[in-house]
């Protein structure tokens, strides 16, 4: 026990340094977020998509050459319209379900268990991919700025995930504060860049990007002039890739409880701000990139990018991202502007993963409470955050980053399938929600409001269904099948966990038979030597007044067994001692078999096994004692009708842990005097009891 205290003491100091002091459950109100903090915390993912959504649109259009870039603004406009419809739909969700849960809660209430599990699996996977894609993209930006990181993007990305994990373990409010400033700087930098670029476009002074004089060789299969069907399919691919801009929109609906009051109103306002800012930035970047002559291809197919003289670019050519090329041209002659935009974009891509770090643990807690995930995910940590969910998300994201070597282009193919499945089911659930309430509502004003909300959700459903179909058709063979397969695996695991919890609940349900007392209690005290721990265990066993009490010792040496029997008789111990001879020097098996024999002789009775254990104060001392007791308890726990009791005996070294605990308790903490905290007990008030 005191060994544990010592380890906990050292570990607790480390946790306090890393995470900060513990928070009481009553302090949850102090962790709620105002809108100015909630925007960067919950919307950084959707806002940061401006750093890669335009890139994906241009990459897809470039398959047929630069001539198809004429469609870029139209594709961007289609994505913006879908985003507007989805955000308007989620504004209805946050008002209808202010308790949080978002898509999962909507599906649970309106669509049934299967849809509930599907949404849960889709969102869990999407949150993991959000971290993997955002962090990997940020690592790519870092490698472009710091050449020494080139080739080590995966390791750097893993380090970033660990850093985000540590920050989020400190709690939502504290994780939001350091993320708010970079996110606002990013928004300001990009909006300023776009504003200057549009002014230059209007005044005729807009320059060109560094790739404006390059040419793009069409990809295999796109060499000939596109047919109408081919053009539609290409635009659909570009549209589906651009829809990555919508990821993260649902996070606000899941995090409504984290907002300050009025929660629903603040969440809806934050959603509106998110939509306006994200659409403005994305459309501005796409229009400026087209007007400035951008040429952009898949980073893995740079051989399709040709220099003005017709020769391919060098193998080590560094193709800057769309935002980086725009910033360099717009801030031509003013390098600080370029570096400001690039640096803040790289930082916000890393911080965008924070959206998932806030959404995943909340969703995990809901799944755990409903019995679809391990119950540990529903527990809050020292800082009132769902610590287990945060750690679990980090582990899964690190696994993906390492498996795909932090390649954004590969990871992006797995993206948005899950989120649009959850979008679609959520909008369908909201339609049922309003239809059900309209039947019960008679007030004309309320009915009008509900009908308007239902119409908004109907439009949202139509948009998300179209996007989902397009994404599945255009991305399935490119990697979306992995997401579908992963969702099926998640569903199978969740179903298995739910069945397990239901089976356990059925087994543990109390009935009248559980009130029947055992007919007989046969107590057994394990003896290795006749010393103080043994005598204490015997005394405790006697105090329980069993029907039968005996001591047993396992003998691997006849001489030691004879000496123990002689000393037993000499001291006149009034408990019979039985020797279990073990010719193969096994210590655990004879005790287990003996307990099973007693149980078999009296099936309605119980066997109580008392095991003396040493309590030491240093971690390395634990390695020198109690190993046989641990193995024996592990075996007896699986033996029906056998109760195992540890009888501790504190050695003097255990006082080391006790003194450490006392010193920790006596250490003054902020606010102790104001709260009237009691003075810690003096160390001399603790005594060793033999």
Q: What is the pLDDT of residues 40-52, one digit of tens each?
A: 877 777 788 777 8
On whether both 489 and 572 belong to a single domain, the answer is: no
Six token digits for residue 246: 């919508």
On whether both 180 and 312 belong to a single domain, the answer is: yes
On whether both 422 and 553 belong to a single domain, the answer is: no
- Domain membership of residue 577 as a residue range: 518-651
Following DSSP, what letter does each residue of 357-375 receive, concatenated? HHHHHHHHHHHHHTTSS-G
The verdict on residue 31 lying in a domain is no
On whether both 574 and 613 belong to a single domain, the answer is: yes
On whether both 157 and 127 belong to a single domain, the answer is: yes
The answer on pLDDT for 480 being more than 80 is no
The verdict on residue 32 lying in a domain is no
77/73 Cα distance (integer angstroms): 6
Six token digits for residue 288: 């400026």
On whether both 386 and 462 belong to a single domain, the answer is: yes
Contact 320, 328 (CB under 8 A): yes
Contact 214, 293 (CB under 8 A): no
* pLDDT range class, residue 163, cuts 50, 70, 90: confident
The verdict on residue 207 lying in a domain is yes
The verdict on residue 350 lying in a domain is yes
Burial of 324 (0-12, 13-18, 19+ CB in 10 A): buried
On whether both 473 and 568 belong to a single domain, the answer is: no
On whether both 459 and 549 belong to a single domain, the answer is: no
Output the domain CATH number for residue 609.
3.40.50
Question: Of 502, 535, 564, which residue constitutes the final position of a domain?
Answer: 502
Output the domain CATH number for residue 365.
1.20.1740.10
Tens of pLDDT, residue by residue over 133-152, are: 888 877 876 776 677 877 78
* Domain count along the chain: 2
The verdict on residue 251 lying in a domain is yes
Burial of 152 (0-12, 13-18, 19+ CB in 10 A): middle
382/434 Cα distance (integer angstroms): 40
On whether both 302 and 206 belong to a single domain, the answer is: yes
Long-range contacts of 478-485 (CB under 8 A, 24+ apart): 478/413, 479/410, 479/413, 479/414, 480/413, 480/414, 480/417, 482/413, 482/414, 483/125, 483/129, 483/414, 483/415, 483/417, 483/418, 484/417
On whether both 483 and 533 belong to a single domain, the answer is: no
Highest mean pLDDT among 26-30, 295-299, 582-586: 295-299
The verdict on residue 510 lying in a domain is no
Tens of pLDDT, residue by residue over 346-383, are: 888 877 777 788 778 888 888 888 889 888 888 776 55
Tens of pLDDT, residue by residue over 409-434, are: 677 667 778 878 888 999 999 999 99
Question: Of 502, 529, 547, which residue constitutes the final position of a domain?
Answer: 502
The verdict on residue 531 lying in a domain is yes
On whether both 139 and 220 belong to a single domain, the answer is: yes
168/44 Cα distance (integer angstroms): 15
160's enclosing H/E stretch is: helix 153-169
The verdict on residue 7 lying in a domain is no
292/578 Cα distance (integer angstroms): 93
On whether both 478 and 536 belong to a single domain, the answer is: no
């Amino acid at each position: 026990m005191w060994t544990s205290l010592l380890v906990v003491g050292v570990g607790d100091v480390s946790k306090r340094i890393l995470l900060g002091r513990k928070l009481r459950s009553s302090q949850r109100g102090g962790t709620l977020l105002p809108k100015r903090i909630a925007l960067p915390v919950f919307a950084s993912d959707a806002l940061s998509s401006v750093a890669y959504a335009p890139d994906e649109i241009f990459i897809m259009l470039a398959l047929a050459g630069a001539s198809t870039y004429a469609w870029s603004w139209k594709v961007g406009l289609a994505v913006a319209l879908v985003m507007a419809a989805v955000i308007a739909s989620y504004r209805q969700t946050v008002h209808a379900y202010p308790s949080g849960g978002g898509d999962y809660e909507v599906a649970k209430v309106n669509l049934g268990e299967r849809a509930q599990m599907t949404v849960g699996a889709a969102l869990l996977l999407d949150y993991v991919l959000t971290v993997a894609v955002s962090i990997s993209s940020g690592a790519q930006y870092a490698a472009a700025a710091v050449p020494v990181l080139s080739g080590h993007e995966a390791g750097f990305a893993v380090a970033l995930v660990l850093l985000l994990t540590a920050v989020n373990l400190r709690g939502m409010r504290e994780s939001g504060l350091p993320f708010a400033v970079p996110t606002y700087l990013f928004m300001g930098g990009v909006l300023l860049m776009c504003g200057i670029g549009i002014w230059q476009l209007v005044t005729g002074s807009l320059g060109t990007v560094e790739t404006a004089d390059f040419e793009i060789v069409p990809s295999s299969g796109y060499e000939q002039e596109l047919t109408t069907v081919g053009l539609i399919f290409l635009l659909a691919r570009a549209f589906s890739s651009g829809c990555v801009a919508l990821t993260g929109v649902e996070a606000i609906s899941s995090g409504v409880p984290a907002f300050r009051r009025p929660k629903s109103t603040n969440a809806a306002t934050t959603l509106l701000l998110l939509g306006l800012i994200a659409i403005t930035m994305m459309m501005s970047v796409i229009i400026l990139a087209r007007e400035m002559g951008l040429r952009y291809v898949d980073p893995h197919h740079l051989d399709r990018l040709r220099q003005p003289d017709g020769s391919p670019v060098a193998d080590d050519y560094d193709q800057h991202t769309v935002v980086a090329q725009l910033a360099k041209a717009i801030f031509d002659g003013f390098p600080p502007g370029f570096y400001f935009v690039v640096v803040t974009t790289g930082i916000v891509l890393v911080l965008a993963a924070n959206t998932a770090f806030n959404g995943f643990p909340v969703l995990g807690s809901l799944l755990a409470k409903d019995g679809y995930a391990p119950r540990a995910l529903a527990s809050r940590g020292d800082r009132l955050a769902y610590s287990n969910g945060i750690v679990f998300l980090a582990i899964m994201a690190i696994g993906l980053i390492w498996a795909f070597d932090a390649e954004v282009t590969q990871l992006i193919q797995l993206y948005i399938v899950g989120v649009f499945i959850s979008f679609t089911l959520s909008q369908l659930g909201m339609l049922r929600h309003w239809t059900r309430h309209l039947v019960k509502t008679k007030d004309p004003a309320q009915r009008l409001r509900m009908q308007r909300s239902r119409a908004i959700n109907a439009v949202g459903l139509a948009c998300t269904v179209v996007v989902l179909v397009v994404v599945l058709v255009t991305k399935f063979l490119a990697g979306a099948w992995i997401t579908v397969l992963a969702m099926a695996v998640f569903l199978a695991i969740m179903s298995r966990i739910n069945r397990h919890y239901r089976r356990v609940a059925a087994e543990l349900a109390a009935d009248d038979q559980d009130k029947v007392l055992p007919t007989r209690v046969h107590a057994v005290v394990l003896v290795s030597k006749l010393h103080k721990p043994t005598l204490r265990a015997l005394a405790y066993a006697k105090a329980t007044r069993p029907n039968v009490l005996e001591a047993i010792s396992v003998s691997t040496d006849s001489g030691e067994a004879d000496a123990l029997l002689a000393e037993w008789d000499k001291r006149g111990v009034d408990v019979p001692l039985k020797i279990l001879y073990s010719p193969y020097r096994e210590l655990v098996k004879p005790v287990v078999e003996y307990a099973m024999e007693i149980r078999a002789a009296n099936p309605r009775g119980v066997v109580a096994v008392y095991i003396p254990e040493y309590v030491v104060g240093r971690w390395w001392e634990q390695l020198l004692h109690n190993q046989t007791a641990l193995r024996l308890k592990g075996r007896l726990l699986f033996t029906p009708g056998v109760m195992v009791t540890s009888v501790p005996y504190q050695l003097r070294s255990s006082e080391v842990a006790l003194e450490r605990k006392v010193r920790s308790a006596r250490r003054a903490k902020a606010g102790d005097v104001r709260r009237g905290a009691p003075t810690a007990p003096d160390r001399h008030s603790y005594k060793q009891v033999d």
